[in-house]
Structure 1
Amino acid sequence: MSPTKSFIRTIHLWLGLGTGLLIVFVCLTGSILAFEQELEHAWHPARYFVQPATTPRLQLAQLASAVQARKPKAKISSFKLYADPTRTVEISLAGNDKGGKGGERGGPGRMGQERGPDASRLPRAGRQNENSGKGGPERGGKPKGEGGGPRVFVNPYTAAITGELNPRDNFFKTVEQLHRGLVAGPVGKLVMGVNATIFLFILGTGLVLWWPTARKALKPRLTVKWGSGWKRLNHDFHISLGFYASLFLFIMALTGVGMSFDWVGAGINKLTHSPLKRPEPPTSAAPAAGTAPLAADAVLALARQQAPDAETYTLQMPKEPTGSIRVAVLRPGAITENATDEAYFDQFSGRLISSQTYAQRPVGQRIRGLFKPVHTGAIFGWPTKLLALVIGLLGATFPITGTIMWLNRRRKKQGKHSPARPIIATSAGR
């Protein structure tokens, strides 16, 4: 082996030994998150799905009243509705609600006040879109204020509460926090970012070591000899399967670095000439004296006029008295669940203040919005999720197989350098 390759092998070895346990942990937790949504729905089907009824869906005002009856002091921050008739309506509560005890700072939500015979006033408790533009309400692309507090699931035909989900008590949320930062705040996020960066070096040096010096050595490095002994199988698993998985692991590690360090996003914005900061959400015009906010159902009707074929509609309520109502719409065939079109409506007149399709977003914003779906495999649905699951599980084995290869080499070297034992003649052997 050349001195250069010997040096690269040393780097590859010690980086792998130093971060191996953390890489195994990250790969395993990432594999769990690959099918998060599907597993969550399978474990709690009654929370997410209902039997469609022949009667029309109830008004949002009636659903809001059902939530108000269960949590009198709760304040609604957003509604999410699905075109799928079997899905429940998701109502997110303000982040300071804790088991129905929230809302003390602003008083109870005023969902029962009316503007007309069947209209309800929009609650003013939802956090305005401080993070608008990241996408829809799903995790990883939701604006602040959506999902900060509990989510209540309501049957759209009967207004029955089918379940409640508090992010702090959710299994997958805990796994995600462990995966992204070891539940250690900014320090944990930094550790994971550095670990992802080191993993990139491990993958790069591994490819250099994999590359054969002779063409005849190429085939053995691309195949696994299944009938061999365990040492040979361990070697082939690390070398051959490592080669096939390296490209996907490199992409996962690269997007992990992008999500861990803010400077990556800032650099992408500069390279793509995208704005460094998101624009402030527009405000509603000052209303005439005594003018009440529009009913939530009226805003939903406006959104359906803009996009009648949408898969989901998310209505985010304004926090400030002059705030606007943000509506995120997911159209059929969207590349990810965060690839939503956005519109802002005046909360008093219903006038469309501004709108932006996903294609109109700044390039840098769209690139950064793809980090998580690419990282988790959600970019193209279940096929890429399955690929992410398999690659994650394989990634967890490589530090183990590599450590075994290193131990085998050490034993082999020690055996060569150990002094030969003297042969003692016995009476039987004379």
Structure 2
Amino acid sequence: MKIFFRNIHLYLSLVSGLVIAVVCFTGGVLVFEKELEQAWHRERYFVTPPTTPRQPLAQLTAAVKAYKPDAKITGMKVYADPTRTVEVSLAGAPGGPSGERKGEGAGKEGRAGRESHAEGGPGARSEAGGQLGAQGRGGKGPEAKGGKGGGEGGRGPIVFVNPYTAAVMGELNYRETFFFTMMALHRGMVGGPIGKLIVGVSTVMFLFIIGTGIVLWWPATRNAVRQRLTVKWNGNWKRVNHDLHIVLGFYSALFLFIFAFTGLAWSFEWFNKGIYAVTNSPMQRPEPPTSAAPTVADAAALTPDAAFTLARQQAPTAEYYSLQLPKDSTGSIKVATLRPGASYENATDEVYLDQYTGQVISQQTYEQRNLGQRVRGMFKPVHTGSIFGLPSKIISLIVCLLGVTFPITGTIMWLNRLRKAKKKQAKLVAA
């Protein structure tokens, strides 16, 4: 029976090994994307707070408009941390990135990105290079239609503004960053729809590889348990290579399985639909509420400062306030806030304000989301290893790097077996 599982393990590994190695390597790079991005461009994200008070948001938006006169401001993210800059989101170019029009980019990565972005509001995760959709317009989940310019590559730039001096500290165009290249390789976006399919199919193969690997690892006797749990460093190079594949493969199998399983949500739409079906939850999120027709008294739209003041009244202890401005005269202002001690970064509460009167039209806490939305929202922090902060990120990085080595050590084991078989055959022929 083990021969059967060994053949499945071998042939699936030979077919998908290179793709798995690339996905694991790029995944390892992306684990600390946020930290590396902030370290490389610290001036964008952090300022030394002076004794002077913060400038009003109107002053900050005026500075952005002076910096980019033709840009359209779609939202802003204000942190409670006094050392953080204010992040102003701008509208992206129509049509999105080349090769990903009419929902191709949004079809898979973009759908999941818009769902995550709907949780965090405009600019969510912008400090890490984005990885989210273009402002999550409309607040729809992964089923959002259209998708032009959706996905990681379709959103507009982020402008960082000093909240005390209104000075523009920098600009982030995610598609031009190193991390976008890594993300595109990680998800197969460099190959378009075919590349994404290849990564998705290879991920499914990887799940079977891990499962058959556990079967092959399982010791036949109690005496063999110790051998399967420790690397014999003083053995010859073939034995060390064997142990690196078998022993380290066992220790990392559970984590790799979880990472691969959650990664399917970005590869296949049927997988996303399955999450909502299993949890018996509606996949379609309700349309954002609209503002009432303005009267003469309140014809002027609510200013960002007024919306921010109302948001602080709603959630005075939030870690950040993410404002998404209305697209047209009937739209509402969406405010996403993150409570201290939230389970993950995008586990936000949402409030919709009438853009003329400031009245709360609709609101929803994170706990009020349906089970499917909460389960799907957990996939990204689990997949990236950020679910438990720094400790889980370190584990994720180590496991991803080990994932790169397994196709190599496994191929070496296979070649050694081929050489051994040839020598054995040669001896039989000679005899």
Fold-level match, TM-score > 0.5? yes
Asked if the contact 1:135–1:141 (Cα under 8 Å) also holds between the matched residues in 2, the reply is no
Asked if the contact 2:114–2:132 (Cα under 8 Å) also holds between the matched residues in 1, the reply is no
Alpha-carbon distance in 2 for matches of 1:63, 1:37: 24
What amino acid does structure 1 have at the position aligned with 2:136?
A: K
**1:301 paired residue among 296, 309, 334:** 309
Alpha-carbon distance in 2 for matches of 1:130, 1:179: 18
**1:281 paired residue among 266, 288, 310:** 288
Matches within 5 A, 1:171-210: 171-210=178-217
Asked if the contact 2:120–2:337 (Cα under 8 Å) also holds between the matched residues in 1, the reply is no
Matches within 5 A, 1:344-383: 344-383=352-391
Q: Which residue of 2 aligns with 1:150?
A: 157
Q: 1:267, CA displacement in angstroms?
A: 1.4
* Cα offsets for 1:297-347 (capped at 9, x unmatched): 000000000111111100000102100000000111111111111000000
* Cα offsets for 1:28-69 (capped at 9, x unmatched): 000000000000001011111111111110000000010111
**2:29 paired residue among 32, 35, 38:** 32
Q: Which residue of 1 aligns with 2:416?
A: 408
What amino acid does structure 2 have at the position aligned with 1:89?
A: V
**1:62 paired residue among 59, 64, 68:** 59
What amino acid does structure 1 have at the position aligned with 2:23?
A: V
**1:335 paired residue among 321, 337, 343:** 343
Select between 256-265 and 303-312 the one with higher mean Cα deviation: 256-265
Alpha-carbon distance in 2 for matches of 1:174, 1:398: 24
Q: Which residue of 2 aligns with 1:166?
A: 173
What amino acid does structure 1 have at the position aligned with 2:398?
A: V
2:246 matched to 1:254?
no
Secondary structure of 1:364 counterpart: helix
What amino acid does structure 2 have at the position aligned with 1:274?
A: S
2:241 matched to 1:241?
no
Secondary structure of 1:274 counterpart: coil
Alpha-carbon distance in 1 for matches of 2:187, 2:380: 11
TM-score, length-scaled by structure 2: 0.87
Secondary structure of 2:190 counterpart: coil
* Cα offsets for 1:84-117 (capped at 9, x unmatched): 111110001011389xxxxxxxxxxxxxxxxxxx
Q: Which residue of 1 aligns with 2:2?
A: 5
Alpha-carbon distance in 1 for matches of 2:303, 2:336: 17
Secondary structure of 1:379 counterpart: coil
Asked if the contact 1:141–1:369 (Cα under 8 Å) also holds between the matched residues in 2, the reply is no
Alpha-carbon distance in 1 for matches of 2:58, 2:428: 88
Secondary structure of 1:275 counterpart: coil
Alpha-carbon distance in 2 for matches of 1:67, 1:160: 9
**1:223 paired residue among 227, 230, 235:** 230
Alpha-carbon distance in 2 for matches of 1:169, 1:272: 38
Q: Tell me, which stretches of 5 or more residues in structure 2 are unaligned?
A: 96-112, 138-149
Asked if the contact 1:24–1:395 (Cα under 8 Å) also holds between the matched residues in 2, the reply is yes
Q: Which residue of 1 aligns with 2:98?
A: none
Runs of 4+ in 1 over 3 A off after TM superposition: 129-136, 139-143, 419-422
Select between 87-96 and 133-142 the one with higher mean Cα deviation: 133-142
Q: Which residue of 2 aligns with 1:387?
A: 395
Select between 174-183 and 227-236 the one with higher mean Cα deviation: 174-183
Secondary structure of 1:175 counterpart: helix
Q: Which residue of 1 aligns with 2:147?
A: none
What amino acid does structure 2 have at the position aligned with 1:175?
A: M
Secondary structure of 1:57 counterpart: coil
* Cα offsets for 1:103-135 (capped at 9, x unmatched): xxxxxxxxxxxxxxxxxxxxxxxxxx9857444
Pair 258,97 (structure 1): closer, same or farther in 2 beyond 3 Å:
closer
Alpha-carbon distance in 1 for matches of 2:214, 2:285: 39
Alpha-carbon distance in 2 for matches of 1:218, 1:200: 24
Asked if the contact 1:97–1:149 (Cα under 8 Å) also holds between the matched residues in 2, the reply is no
Alpha-carbon distance in 2 for matches of 1:86, 1:341: 23
Q: Which residue of 1 aligns with 2:99?
A: none
Asked if the contact 1:342–1:357 (Cα under 8 Å) also holds between the matched residues in 2, the reply is yes
What amino acid does structure 2 have at the position aligned with 1:212?
A: P
More helix by share: 2
* Cα offsets for 1:368-403 (capped at 9, x unmatched): 111111111011111111111000000110111011
Q: 1:262, CA displacement in angstroms?
A: 1.2
What amino acid does structure 1 have at the position aligned with 2:30?
A: L
What amino acid does structure 2 have at the position aligned with 1:331?
A: R
Larger Rg computed on CA atoms? 1
2:14 matched to 1:17?
yes
What fraction of aligned residue pairs are identical, expressed as a percent?
60
What amino acid does structure 1 have at the position aligned with 2:333?
A: I
Q: 1:185, CA displacement in angstroms?
A: 2.8
Q: Which residue of 2 aligns with 1:213?
A: 220
Secondary structure of 1:197 counterpart: helix
Q: 1:151, CA displacement in angstroms?
A: 0.5
Asked if the contact 1:130–1:281 (Cα under 8 Å) also holds between the matched residues in 2, the reply is no
Asked if the contact 2:60–2:163 (Cα under 8 Å) also holds between the matched residues in 1, the reply is yes
Q: 1:415, CA displacement in angstroms?
A: 1.1
Q: 1:419, CA displacement in angstroms?
A: 4.2
Secondary structure of 1:322 counterpart: coil
